[in-house]
Structure formats: structure tokens, C-alpha cells
Structure 1
Amino acid sequence: MTPTVGHTGPGPLSGTDAREAARIVMGECPRLPFLPELADRGIGADAVGRTGAMLADLPLDVSTRGWRLAGSVGRPARRAADLLDRDADALEEADEIARGVTVDRDLAREGRGRAGQEPVRPTERRLQVRVLGPWSLAARLELPGGMPVLTDRGARRDLAASLAEGAAAYAGRLGGRLGAGARILLDEPRLWHVAAGTVAGPSRFDPVPAVPAEQLSLSLCRFADALRTAGVAEVLVRAPGGAGPEAPARWEVVSEPPRGETPLDGLCVPAATLRAPGSGAPGVGQREVDPATPDAARAAAHAALDAAGTVLGDGRLLHLEGLPGGGRTPRTGSEVEHAAVGVLDLLDRLAASRCASLDRLVLTPTAGEVTTGREDAVAALAAVRRVAEATPPAAE
């Protein structure tokens, strides 16, 4: 059986029209659709507001500095919940239209889909919902007194339990409406700052202590267990790239689970993180790093490569955010083929079997490529789809 490379979007899209965003998603990512995030709509559509709207029995409101826990649900939180419901309705509507137009046409053509692929079957689908992970949410959300939730162990535990229950319920309901299993992507943009103790407090007199890497890893594994117990099919974590000397990457947190713990189902990492400055673009035969590249930069790239290789070697999923090699979005056939060779070159650098790893690889554009306008978003998602389709034949 020919392996397939997955493709989807990062989550954010430009604009304010939920229906238009949903049509784009279903047009380009029918096998692995994602819930669009339209932050241009303002308060309540931001990452904290959207994730907060999924919390179970934990009301939020806003302060002068941002979102905080509250005694009752504030108007911004009600708006966030309303926007989230509209996004779900728009995605279901776009899916119904796509099934009626595309799937029926596929069946009429002897079961063949776009580019000769098999039609989408509900049991094979996944709906990807991105939420702020428990550590980054605790770093961004305030207690009623103004300190980050991160500083209070009890509040942190309650927040994680509420998030697991609420996110699993939301993703499960929407996945059921689309005939898809739920895949939750835990976005942890503040993870390295949490590990380094560089999360900003309300003032310089209120430092936020670091959380040991072992505790971060254990809690993420157990948080994923709670989501899976609640019916989520797969749980992945999106780790940030390098955050600088003040917050060095600790890749073992997301790649090496503690002994006896069930690991997360996969890792999402910026493809640029896997390429040291000064290295040749993957796929053109230039793998050596420029000798002038700082040792720290090379070490950081090698550490990220080791983490990605560990995840693939363990049989887990690897999301690449952005295509290996960078550069502009491939548009011509030769550019798509070149990008596909770049993906295979990366697998070689990871010492991963090409045939065995392709089914566990997912390609997605970067957020920057899909938030500059509708045409750019469609072009970026279409390019990733074409590269994903071109990679298996290039591996033969």
C-alpha cells in the first residue's frame, strides 16, 4: 500500500469571515481539516480567549493586562464562546457542502478523488483543534490577584483539569459532526520560558519560579492521557523554536516521556528549527553547516533534529510547520518536486526510514504564510497539499 503524507494548516487564518475560512479549509485539507482561528475579529478570538471558552466550569474575564480567572463569566468570555460556536457551525456547513459536491462526484468516478486519490472516509479523518497547552495557558492567564496562574499549584491543577475536560468535549462534539476523530494540538509557545523561569510577573518584584523539565514532561503526558480518556483520538504538542539565551529549548520535555508514562502522539515543530543557520537548503546536496555558524546555533539545530528523530523513531507523528529548506511557497511543478525532495532529505538527516516514516509525517504552512491574505492562504495550503502528494512518488 502506497504511504501518504498528511497535510493540514497551522490554525490561524486571516480575515473575519468564519464561513470563508471554513470553505478554504475544506477545499484544501479534507482529510485532516483544522478549526480556523480568526484573531482579526478582536477580543475573544485571540488564543487565550478561544482556549478559555473551552474551559469547563472555570469562568474568565479580562483585566487591564489580559485574561484572568473570575467569579462569573464576563462579556468578553461570552463573546469568545459565541465566536467558537460560530466557527464550529461554519466548519460543519462547509464540510456538508464539500461532501455533497466532492464526495458524490468522486463516487461517480469509480471512487477516485482529486489527483487519483481514494475518497475521504470518515473513519480515516481527523479534525485538528489547536488550543493553548496547560503550561502556556497558565503562564498567560492571571489569578484574581494579578499573578499568573503558573505561580499557584492548586490553581494550575484546576486549570489543567478544566482544560482537559472542556477541550476534549468541544473537539469530540465537532469531530462527531464531521465524522472525524478528534486530534488536539497543544500549542505551548511559552514552554521554554516556563522551564527557564523567565515568564514575566506583574512586576520585577514578583518573579515566577522555573518549573523543572521532568515535571513539565510528566504533566504533559498525563494531560494527554486525560484527553484520550475523554475520547480524543490523538494528542500532539506544538513546541516553539529557539527562544534565545533567556529561554533555551529543552527538547527532552516533548520527545522523551518519563519512565512508565505514555508519550504524546506526536510533535509539531517549525521546520526552520531543524536547519542551522548557514546550512545548505535540504534537497540540493548541501548538508554541511557553514564553519562560521556559531556553535550554539548548530547545537540548537542538532538538538531539535535529535528530538524529531526520536519522535519518528518511536512511531509517533511529526508535524513540520513550514517546508524544509524554507524559501518562497512552491508554485510550479519543478518547485513542488524540489520541495518533496527536501522532505525526503530531511528524513535522511533524521536517520528515518523513508517508506516507514511517510505515513507519520504531516506538512503544514507556517502561520505567517496563511495570515497575510486569502489568496496567500489558499496558495500556501495548496502548495503543502501538492508537496505532500508528490513526496511518496519521489521516495520510490
Structure 2
Amino acid sequence: MSEQHPYPWPAASSTGVGSWPGEDPDEAVRTVLGELPDLPHLPELPGRGVGADVIGRTAGLLVEFPVEVQPTGWRVADSPGRDLYRARGFLSRDLDLLAEHAHAYEGALKIQVAGPWTMAASVELRNGQRMAADPGAYRDLAASHLEGVLAHIAEARKRVPGARLLVQVDEPSLPAVLMGALPTASGYGRLRAVDRVRVEEVLRTLFGAVEEAGAVPVVHCCAANAPLDLLRRSGARALGLDAALLDRRHDDMVGTAVEAGVGLMLGVVPAVDPPPAQRDRMSDPAANVEVVRELWNRLGFGPDLLTRAVVPTPACGLAGASPEHARAALKAVRNGARVLRDEPHRS
């Protein structure tokens, strides 16, 4: 199985989800490169303010699709303004720091963007309604988003030419888009669900373009009702999920994905500082990845495939954590990956 389905990372890899606490991108890049040597990622620092979070960063990638910040969030604008310039400046600075610290790096490297459906759920039309409510609007947004993602891949490749790029598409709002759970502008109603066929079509187009650009499409959705089959069919080469939210109801979908060669990035340690009573558990690598072993035992796959197919991660981005917990979380997932490799049969 592992020979039939090669993965875009070394065996026993670990990685982060994306965001990082604080306002110092230089320190963040150096920390991530040091703690995650097999699969580092370009960190996002929302603490810097408007334009530094994943929505703002991705808004800065949109091509000929200006948006600006209003009291209720990002909204379509007539022309680019200071919010977009700020977002683009943050990203350019982050990429320059990546080049400074990792120009000669030649392994797997992950970059993150908000997905087209999370953007459609987060960006408003001029009337205050979410873009997900208007088929013409989200069609235009998806086209602009795709073009911007491809340009981002090209910029990252310039900075680290020897890296094998993975593009993580963050879709935390996708379940709400599919279930018709997004609130209307008034807050008193819910937007109509977007057709699943249309959702899958947009994602398949994006993931296919990412692969044609020589990168590996990954999708992350830490919601309990992540549409695993839809994401697999759309062409994602790996699924980023919170392992604590996977139970026996998900086994068939997860197993089908693994059989198809889809990798799993599984969140196994808290994304925020745990209560004092739970801190000791994070220092036990075997305990941290026990949820992964239990899942794997239920699926019935061999231990050799486990260490190749599964990448331990924090449960979500670390922007809400203390710097101390963020570093501890990366150390915990790195040590957890090594335990899965060195003690594959431990129960």
C-alpha cells in the first residue's frame, strides 16, 4: 500500500495547521523551521491586525477583486485600499523571511490559504449579504481566488525553489455552506444551502489547478461534520482533520480516503493552552497519538502505512495559544510522529 501510494512528505512527519501567536514573523518562521524539520509551514500571525489572518491574507491574493474591511468584516469594494495593501505587505514580508531562513531548503513545505467557500461565507457583497448567497458573485470570487492561489504558489516557489510545495486550503465554513447554516445579513434567517455538485466542482477545479502548477493540494476542515467524501472526490491529496472529532461514524469515509492514497493530517494536541490538569498529558508522546492508534486499529491498515500516511498536527491553528504552549504543541506532535514510527504496535 505504501509503495502504491507515495506521500508528499517523509515518513514520521509532523506539521502545524497555520496560525501562530504574537507579532514577530521572523521568530515565527525560525521556530517553525526548527521544530518541524520534515514538513514546515509558512506561519500566519493574526495578532498583527487586519490583513494578517487567513481571510485577510487570502483577500490580498484575490485578482481584480478588491475588498475592504467594514465593521462587520470584509466587504466587496470599488478599488483596492489600505486594508488590501496592508494584507499584501504582511504576506510579502513573510515570504521574504521564508526565503531568508529557508532558501536552500529542499523538502516538503506547506503554505495555507482560505478556501473559496470559506471566503464566500466570510466576504460580504455591498448590500451586506454574504457572497455565498449569490451564485454569480461566488462564481467570480472562485475564479479570482484560483488565479491568486496560483500566483501565490509561484511567489513561494521563487523564495524556496527546491521545496515541494503543499497548498493547504482551509475550509472551516464549508459545512455551514453545505447545510444552509450561514446567517443572513439581518441575522434572523439562514442562507440557502449551496448545491453540493457546485461546491465539489469549484474545489475540483482549484485542486486540479494546484496540481498542474506542481504543488500538492491539501484541505483542512476541523469541523465535526467535515464532508470527507466530497473533499476526497474533489481531488485533495490530504485531509486535515481534528482526530478527536472522528468516531466510528467516520470510519468508512476515512478508510476509503486512505485506500485511495489520500494522506491524513490529524490534530492530536490542543490548539490553546489546556487546563493545568491536562498539561502533563502533552508531555507524553504516546498518549497524544493514542487517538490515532485507535482510529488506525478500527480501520485495519498496517502500521507501516500509518507512519507514512498520517501526519500529527495541533487540533487547529495556534494563534490563540501562549507562545510557550505553541512551542510545546509543535514539540508534542513531532515526538508523537516519532512514537508512531518507533513503536508501531504499541497498544
What is the letter of the counterpart of residue 41 of structure 2?
F
User: Which of the two has higher C-alpha Rg?
Assistant: 1
Equivalent residue number for residue 163 of structure 2: 180
Equivalent pairs: percent with the same residue?
34
Equivalent residue number for residue 312 of structure 2: 363
Change (3 A) 1:383 1:222: same
Given candidates 220, 229, 242, the residue that maps to 1:252 is 229
Task: Using the TM superposition, give the Cα deviation of residue 190 of structure 1 relative to its aligned residue in structure 2, in angstroms.
Answer: 0.9
Equivalent residue number for residue 195 of structure 1: 178
Equivalent residue number for residue 84 of structure 2: 77
Q: Deviations over 1:202-240 (max 9, x none)?
A: 1157742111333322321222112222x1421111123
SS in 2 for 1:73: coil
Given candidates 263, 269, 272, the residue that maps to 2:244 is 272
Bigger mean CA deviation after superposition, 146-155 or 32-41: 146-155
Equivalent residue number for residue 294 of structure 2: 345
Given candidates 191, 214, 234, the residue that maps to 2:197 is 214
Task: Using the TM superposition, give the Cα deviation of residue 14 of structure 1 relative to its aligned residue in structure 2, in angstroms.
Answer: 0.4
Equivalence map 1:55-74=2 (5 Å): 55-74=62-81
Change (3 A) 1:23 1:234: same
Q: Is the 8 A contact 1:183 1:233 kept in 2?
A: yes
Task: Using the TM superposition, give the Cα deviation of residue 358 of structure 1 relative to its aligned residue in structure 2, in angstroms.
Answer: 2.2
What is the letter of the counterpart of residue 187 of structure 1?
D
Change (3 A) 1:187 1:392: same
Change (3 A) 1:85 1:302: same
Equivalent residue number for residue 4 of structure 1: 11
Task: Using the TM superposition, give the Cα deviation of residue 160 of structure 1 relative to its aligned residue in structure 2, in angstroms.
Answer: 1.1
Determine the C-alpha separation between the residues in 2 that align with 1:341 and 1:241.
20
When normalised by structure 1's length, the TM-score is 0.77
Task: Using the TM superposition, give the Cα deviation of residue 340 of structure 1 relative to its aligned residue in structure 2, in angstroms.
Answer: 4.8
Equivalent residue number for residue 266 of structure 2: 320
Q: Deviations over 1:157-200 (max 9, x none)?
A: 22112111211221332134222122111111111111111111
Unpaired runs of at least 5, structure 2: 4-9
Change (3 A) 1:137 1:337: same
Bigger mean CA deviation after superposition, 135-144 or 363-372: 363-372
What is the letter of the counterpart of residue 68 of structure 1?
R
SS in 1 for 2:219: strand
Q: Is the 8 A contact 1:341 1:394 kept in 2?
A: no
RMSD: 2.5
Change (3 A) 1:206 1:387: closer
Structure 1 position 158 matched with structure 2 position 140: yes
SS in 2 for 1:34: coil
Determine the C-alpha separation between the residues in 2 that align with 1:192 and 1:341.
27
When normalised by structure 2's length, the TM-score is 0.87
Count of residues paired in the alignment:
331
Change (3 A) 1:369 1:330: farther
What is the letter of the counterpart of residue 198 of structure 1?
A
Determine the C-alpha separation between the residues in 2 that align with 1:206 and 1:78.
34
What is the letter of the counterpart of residue 306 of structure 1?
D
Task: Using the TM superposition, give the Cα deviation of residue 328 of structure 1 relative to its aligned residue in structure 2, in angstroms.
Answer: 4.0
Determine the C-alpha separation between the residues in 2 that align with 1:207 and 1:393.
49
Determine the C-alpha separation between the residues in 2 that align with 1:317 and 1:328.
29
Determine the C-alpha separation between the residues in 2 that align with 1:241 and 1:379.
24
Change (3 A) 1:340 1:136: closer
Q: Deviations over 1:227-286 (max 9, x none)?
A: 222x142111112322xxxxx55433223x2xxxx6211111101101xxxxxxxxxxxx
Determine the C-alpha separation between the residues in 2 that align with 1:41 and 1:145.
29
SS in 2 for 1:173: helix
Q: Is the 8 A contact 1:273 1:304 kept in 2?
A: no
Q: Is the 8 A contact 2:243 2:292 kept in 1?
A: no
Determine the C-alpha separation between the residues in 1 that align with 2:73 and 2:291.
41
Equivalent residue number for residue 311 of structure 1: 257
Q: Is the 8 A contact 2:95 2:159 kept in 1?
A: no
Q: Relative CO higher for 1 or 2, CA cutoff 8 Å, sep ≥ 6?
A: 2
